Structure 1
Amino acid sequence: MIILGLTGSIGMGKSTAAQMFADLGVPVNDADAVVHALYRGEAVAPIEAVFPGATVAGVVDRKELSRQLSENPALFKTLEAIVHPLVRKAERAFLARHRAEKSPLVLLDIPLLFETKAENRVDAVVVVTCDPATQRDRVMKRPGMTEEKFALILSRQVPDAQKRAKADYIIDTSGEFDSTRAQVAAIVRHVTTQKRL
């Protein structure tokens, strides 16, 4: 089974690309979706213990958690120490299931792939990118986004140029959806026709 890791900075089109892999029948493990589930389950109690008031009715209040983190960015490491092991556990279960099903190719959608050294757990890395103006335009359209929040998020991510330099495959999402779709299809064709990466 070939394991692809998909990553990219905020606003680069990673979720769109992941959906295109899924549309081609590639099983996708979405780390963001896993976190959403954890914020309604296993991660709630440990987060409330460190971030009092950051959960409401058994669910993590992302807005309040974000507010507390912006006031004390040093707590990002504490949050990661809670969440990352739980995300890894879900990822291992996903991989075990697809190995048992003899899936030829799977995709791990990992927002902080390089930041968490996850490139060591995949056979090849796919990086989504676009020009900075397009990125900013996409991000600033998100509800509740501010220049400060955008700057904070970027400060915690490996710069796009470094990601591209480390990538095995690059998908440029600056153009039309059809262009992105064609790039995704080309990667799937390439990795599934190689004996080894």
Structure 2
Amino acid sequence: MGSENAMIIGLTGGIATGKSTVSALLASRGAYLIDSDQIARQVVERGEPAYEEIVKHFGKQVLLPDGQIDRKELGRIVFANPEERAILEKITHPHIFREIKKRIEVAKAEGKKLIFLDVPLLFETGLDRQVDLTLLIDTDERIQLERLIKRDQLSREEAERRIEAQMPMGEKRKKADYILSNRGSIKELEEEVERFLKWVEEKRG
């Protein structure tokens, strides 16, 4: 995916480690961002091929009254059953990857120098092998659990199940090219982002 002119950086982390906050900080500093979560929502909208496949497999129980996918209900089903989660990923991932590739080509054509792919399952899906560098947003497991419970209004058991569905943070730390700590204040996080961007510039030479 990479080219001499553009550097493609895979941005990842565990669920609720603060990827969105870091993405916003990077965007405010001129980085070009491709958000895989936003793409994932787009590919399951009514009229999209993934939508039909999801309804065919999971049935109308995963639909809202307006006919759109009930993401909360679908999440409840797939995080309670690894086999169902694998089926959902098999349906959605090809569509998501195709759209990511398309957006990278557009960004390159526009002359973007720094392209960030915000992908929660970067290592799990093997997309880390198609980027130039990987950036991991890291936090303590306790903070992660508390944030997830609060953010998605989940029970502790549901939140733990969602964290366990991902590759352990210890494994991700071993694979990442750069680990950005999100354990303190927003000011400390901004300083971490500045340090990271300086490191990238040095890498680019």
TM-score when scaled to structure 2? 0.89
1:140/1:67 Cα in 2 relative to 1: closer, same or farther (>3 Å)? closer
Pair 1:20 & 2:25 matched: yes
Partners of 1:67 and 1:11 lie apart in 2 by 17
Residues 47 and 79 in structure 1, CA contact (< 8 A), matched pair in contact too: yes
RMSD: 1.6
Pair 1:9 & 2:14 matched: yes
Pair 1:33 & 2:38 matched: yes
Partner of 1:92: 101
Structure 1: unaligned runs, 5 residues or longer: none
Aligned residue type for 2:182: T
1:125 match: secondary structure: strand
Once the two structures are superposed, residues 114-158 of structure 1 have per-residue CA deviations (whole angstroms, 9 ceiling, x without a partner) of: 111111011111001112222222112124311222122122211
Percent identity over paired residues: 32
Large movers: runs of 4+ above 6 Å: none
Structure 2: unaligned runs, 5 residues or longer: 1-5
Deviates more, 1:126-135 or 1:91-100: 126-135
Deviates more, 1:109-118 or 1:186-195: 186-195
Alignment partner for residue 192 of structure 2, among 176, 183, 186?
183
Residues 12 and 135 in structure 1, CA contact (< 8 A), matched pair in contact too: yes
Partners of 1:75 and 1:108 lie apart in 2 by 26
1:1-197 residue pairs with structure 2 within 5 A?
Answer: 1-41=6-46, 42=48, 43-53=50-60, 54-56=62-64, 57-70=66-79, 72-195=81-204
Task: Give the Å deviation of 1:104.
Answer: 0.7
Partners of 1:72 and 1:4 lie apart in 2 by 31
